[in-house]
Amino acid sequence: MDSKALEKTPAGKAAHDQEPPQALLDFMSRDWIEQPPERRPHPQLERLRARREELSRAFPASYLLLPAGIEHVRANDTFFRFRPSSDFAYLIGGGEPGGLLVFEPEGARHRTRLFVPAHNRGTPEGFTNRLHGELWVGRHRGVEESRAYYGVDACEPLQSLESYLETVRSESAPLRIVRGVNPLIDARFEERDADAELATHLSEMRLCKDEYEIGELRKAVEITKRGFDDVVRTLATMSSEREVEAAFWGRARIEGNDGGYLTIAAGGSHACTLHWTRNDGPIERGKLLLLDAGAECDSLYTADVTRTLPVGGHFSSEQRAVYDLVYSAQSAGIEACVVGNDFLEPNRRAMRILAEGLIDLKVLHCSLDEALDPERQYYRRYTLHNVSHMLGIDVHDCAHARSETYKYGKLQEGMALTVEPGLYFQPDDATVPAALRGIGVRIEDDIVVTGGAPENLSAILPRSAEAVEEWVAG
């Protein structure tokens, strides 16, 4: 938890909690049945160890600190559900609040040390601490079980972390920290360029996915498809965007870990707001619903899919014209997702088609060359964003990779990315013909770069206008 939360709820207590008398503390400390620790390994332990060994080779003779993260305050002394930081989960395969993975230099290699919450049944913390007490939040994996499960060299309770960090501060070996995850750890060590090097390396490790990761993305897409089906099945009776959000989230939570990001359930002109997550507007027949949603698996890999649906079952002629234009642009972008192409090539191909279409729709009144001129880029008034980002354990994966390996790099086999062109005609845009104002369309699919043609993981959802109409009307 952050420092302000610590001030509000010292030792994980709420303002309305009573102080327990000593007799109660004594009573609560005895007669608990000891549970033998489970010593099963993580099902992906060998893969996780290989990742840690790769990271170790990249930073010899350096301390590496990777925090799991903290609980974040939602309101006063209540918190959002915890999700471990992506880099931590990528190397360990899970994580609990406050955890820390340390790579300790040991000759040419590293020794891994993991700090985790310890079991606290039979202690005052176990029933008085709302954040970490096992009677409040459930049983922790514990120290011995965590060491066996995660396959680290050493495991210690969080209570020993303070003194350990003081020891690290006194060491002369170089130190690198993944920052922005645990402010209490950030505050202990001066920020340095080496921290950015660690974040960059971890992002670039994640650029190309292995078979397991692609399988998890495929699983996330399959859950997402069923979530979209849940929405479509009852769309005719829905009256609010909140119903759409709830229908999708129910599937994501039941079959996966959660939604991979805040669902965008944008009805009517709300679709012209790119990240419309308020989801408090109406769903109306004759209008469109732009649904941008993705389920996150228990492994934390997430899908990211968008479909634009005609609420009444059929597109109007104006809606259909915009939809078909976006569909053509997306198809061209998907075809460009092949090994050796620039990462930006799908964007260039999609934008050219959108610009041509905007001229045909009488939205742009200029030549194609003028619309695409890098010094003008007039088409961007109506499309606003590029068509691709990396996808994986983060919905916007690999964010700290260098530009030359990501945005200005080449597509490689195993990369997973979205292709998501859109057109957004704001309801108050005087440059747009009145019949098009308030129409927003985005189509997004999850693509894997293979040794041959690109694989569209989300092709299991209807995509063409005809298929979408049949899906909704049915």
Q: Which of 205, 220, 255 is the last residue of a domain?
A: 205
pLDDT in tens, 349-404: 999 999 999 999 999 999 999 999 999 999 999 999 999 999 999 999 999 999 99
Q: Which helix (H) or strand (E) holds 441?
A: strand 440-442
pLDDT at 6 exceeding the cut of 80: no
In Å, how far from its chain's centre is CA 69? 15
Which residue, 70, 69, 68, 78, is CA-closest to 8? 78
Q: What is the pLDDT of residue 10?
A: 54
Question: Do 107 and 236 have their domain in common?
Answer: no
Report the CATH number at residue 33: 3.40.350.10
For 117, residues 6+ apart whose C-beta sits below 8 A from its C-beta are 96, 97, 98, 99, 132, 140, 142, 157, 158
Question: Do 449 and 394 have their domain in common?
Answer: yes
Taking the C-alpha atoms of residue 307 and residue 154, their distance in angstroms, rounded to an integer, is 47
Say if CB 272 and CB 264 are below 8 A apart: no
User: Would you list the DSSP string of 166-183?
Assistant: HHHHH--S-EEE--SS-H
Question: Do 39 and 174 have their domain in common?
Answer: yes
Say if CB 342 and CB 410 are below 8 A apart: yes
Q: Which of 205, 235, 264 is the last residue of a domain?
A: 205
Question: Do 177 and 271 have their domain in common?
Answer: no
Q: What percent of the chain has pLDDT over 90?
A: 93
Taking the C-alpha atoms of residue 311 and residue 444, their distance in angstroms, rounded to an integer, is 18
Question: Do 109 and 124 have their domain in common?
Answer: yes
Question: Do 259 and 314 have their domain in common?
Answer: yes
For 152, residues 6+ apart whose C-beta sits below 8 A from its C-beta are 101, 112, 113, 114, 146
Question: Do 195 and 253 have their domain in common?
Answer: no
Question: Do 307 and 429 have their domain in common?
Answer: yes
Question: Do 198 and 216 have their domain in common?
Answer: no
Mean pLDDT (whole number) for 16-44: 91
User: Long-range contact list for 426-434, CB < 8 A, 24+ apart?
Assistant: 426/269, 426/272, 427/269, 427/272, 429/381, 431/363, 431/381, 432/363, 432/382, 433/361, 433/362, 433/363
Question: Do 14 and 102 have their domain in common?
Answer: yes
Strand partners, 446: 418
Domain count, the chain: 2
Mean pLDDT (whole number) for 84-106: 97
DSSP type of residue 203: H
Residue 10 backbone dihedrals phi, psi, to 5 degrees: -60, 135
Mean pLDDT (whole number) for 216-230: 98
pLDDT at 4 exceeding the cut of 50: no
Question: Do 280 and 388 have their domain in common?
Answer: yes
Q: Which of 163, 184, 205 is the last residue of a domain?
A: 205
pLDDT at 139 exceeding the cut of 70: yes
- Written as six digits, the tokens of 55 are 């990271």
Q: What is the pLDDT of residue 8?
A: 42
- Residue 294 belongs to domain spanning: 211-473
Mean pLDDT (whole number) for 294-311: 98
Which residue, 275, 315, 268, is CA-closest to 292? 275
pLDDT at 338 exceeding the cut of 60: yes
